[in-house]
Chains A and B, each alone.
Chain A
Amino acid sequence: MAPLEDNPAPAMLAQLKQCLRSVTPFSNTVQTVLRLLGEQPFDINKICQCIELDPVLASAILRLANSPFYGFARKISLVKDAAVLLGVHTLRQVVISFSVVNAFPLRGEGGLDREALWRHSVGVAVGAKLLAETLSQDGDEAFIAGIIHDIGQFIMDQCLPEQYQEVLNRAQAQAGGLYQLEQQLFGVDHGRVGAVAIQHWQLPEPLARCAAYHRFPTVERQPETLVDLIHVADVLAQGLWVDGREPVSIERLSPQVITRLGLSWAQIEALLPKIDNMSQEMIGRLLR
């Protein structure tokens, strides 16, 4: 393996950019479904016909729709029922989440523990959705934001497997410096890579900002509720599960964010068991 220079290598950056464009989590069918879901007024029959063209997608939608996370009282066995019961927003959330998770198989060629990162991402998604709902915000958008907040890491692992493995090895040895090391070696960190990918996939702009800023919610810029939610959910997920793969120290929870969101400690404490249980539930349904 070629030794890594401690200077950003333009060649690697170019390779990353090129590879990023080739990563397409959304199949033609999914793209059509997303387009139809965005139409006003939408045609539910057309959407369902389109979903049924892709049996893997259809069965994933049914599997997810039957999760207690969405709390429907009866078994849903038709795509159309799922679409009607979930509603357009949640259906869009399910389609996007499933497609993105599916685009990065649990076993990659690189050194990233993808399963652990997906488990973490689902935990952040569930936490963000529950926090959003507690604060009367859009839970579906928060869920998607949680699923893709660390997508840059998957992309780096996919595009530069050997080099990224080296970064991960070094990050383990010296605590807390993943962003710094990425900057040093690639000239760009996974937050930025994720943001560029999200823009490239034509997902809403706030999702790109979540990927870029969830770790630094207080840098000088217009505060944004979605970014703040992902920040809190990310810290909570790091504290909730022990799997031995988490960073040596937890990320610092920003007091400004807690104040901005108007979140109380009692609210956070009340959500912990829900986040814990529902995450395990969704992990079982999304990662298979």
Chain B
Amino acid sequence: MSCSSTIIPTAEVVAGMVIACDIRDANGAVMIAGGTELNRRLIEVLKLRQVAEVEVLAQEDASQRQSRRDKALAKLSQQFGVYAEDPVMQQLLALLERYHTRGLN
């Protein structure tokens, strides 16, 4: 993964970045697991625990992001195709669409 990840100072970390490898404390316990997407709370934790820098996965560029979003949305519209008239499934669809497109406009 090293080619697609970068080490950045904790001060420059923003929500939405994804941790590349487990972050461990001095005792070796996993503080935040690799693969976790950072949110405001976790960034606070990093600062409180005085983690100086973190390795994050390279951020997708705009076009990769767009294509991932399109793929997820296309899959959802196919999976839910037969439930156009079903209010519960439409609610679930809306929720999953919001999740798959989070952090994007």
**Contacting pair A74 B28 (CB below 8 A):** yes
Given contacts A235-B92, A272-B95, contact A68 B76 (CB under 8 A): no
* Separation of A235 and B80 alpha carbons in the complex (Å): 12
Taken together as a complex, chains A and B put the C-alpha atoms of A123 and B65 apart, in Å, by 24
Kindly identify which residue among B32, B76, B78, B96 contacts A248, using a CB–CB cutoff of 8 Å. Answer: B78
Q: Mark B72-105, 1 if CB is under 8 A from A, else 0.
A: 1001101111110010110110011011001000
Q: Count residues on chain A whose CB falls below 8 Å from chain B CBs.
A: 30
- Which chain A residues lie closer than 8 Å to B28 at the CB level? 74-75
CA distance A276 to B92 in the complex (A): 16
| A29 CB within 8 Å of chain B | no
Taken residue by residue from 219 to 249, chain A's Cβ proximity to chain B (1 for < 8 Å, 0 otherwise) reads as 0000000000000000100111010001011
Please indicate the chain A residues that have their CB under 8 angstroms from the CB of B89 in the complex.
250, 252-253
CB-contacts of B1-50 with A (<8 A):
24-25, 27-33, 35-37
- Which of chain B's residues have a CB closer than 8 A to the CB of A239? 76, 79, 92, 96
Q: How many pairs, one residue from A and one from B, have CB atoms within 8 Å of each other in the complex?
A: 77
Residues of the B chain whose Cβ atoms lie less than 8 Å from the Cβ of A246: 75, 79
Bin chain B's interface residue count: 20 to 34
By beta carbon, the residue of chain B nearest A258 is: B88
Asked if A252 contacts B83 (CB within 8 A), the reply is yes
Nearest residue (CB) in A for B27 is A74
CB–CB B79/A269 < 8 A: no
The residues of B that contact A277 with a CB separation of less than 8 Å are 33, 35-37
**A106 located at the interface, meaning its Cβ lies under 8 Å from any Cβ of chain B in the complex:** no
CB–CB B75/A75 < 8 A: no
Q: How far, in whole Å, are A75 and B79 apart by their CA atoms in the complex?
A: 42
In this complex, what residue of B is CB-closest to A269? B95
| Minimum C-beta distance from A120 to chain B (A) | 14
Contacts of A10 in B (CB 8 A): none
CA distance A250 to B97 in the complex (A): 14
Contacts of B27 in A (CB 8 A): 73-75
A115 on interface, CB distance cutoff 8 Å: no
Report the bound CA distance from A141 to B99 in whole Å.
Answer: 27
Q: Across the interface, name the chain A residue whose C-beta is closest to B68.
A: A242
Provide the residues of chain B in CB contact with A269, threshold 8 Å: 95, 98-99
**How far is A72 from B24 in the complex, measured between Cα atoms in Å?**
12
A249 touching B30 by the CB < 8 A rule?
no
Residues of B within 8 A of A (CB): 24-25, 27-33, 35-37, 71-72, 75-76, 78-83, 86, 88-89, 91-92, 95-96, 98-99, 102
- Residues of chain A at the chain B interface (Cβ within 8 Å): 66-68, 72-75, 235, 238-240, 242, 246, 248-250, 252-253, 255, 258, 265, 268-269, 272-273, 276-277, 280-281, 284
Q: List 11 A-B contacts (CB under 8 A).
A: A66-B30, A68-B30, A73-B29, A74-B25, A239-B79, A242-B71, A248-B79, A249-B80, A255-B88, A269-B99, A272-B99
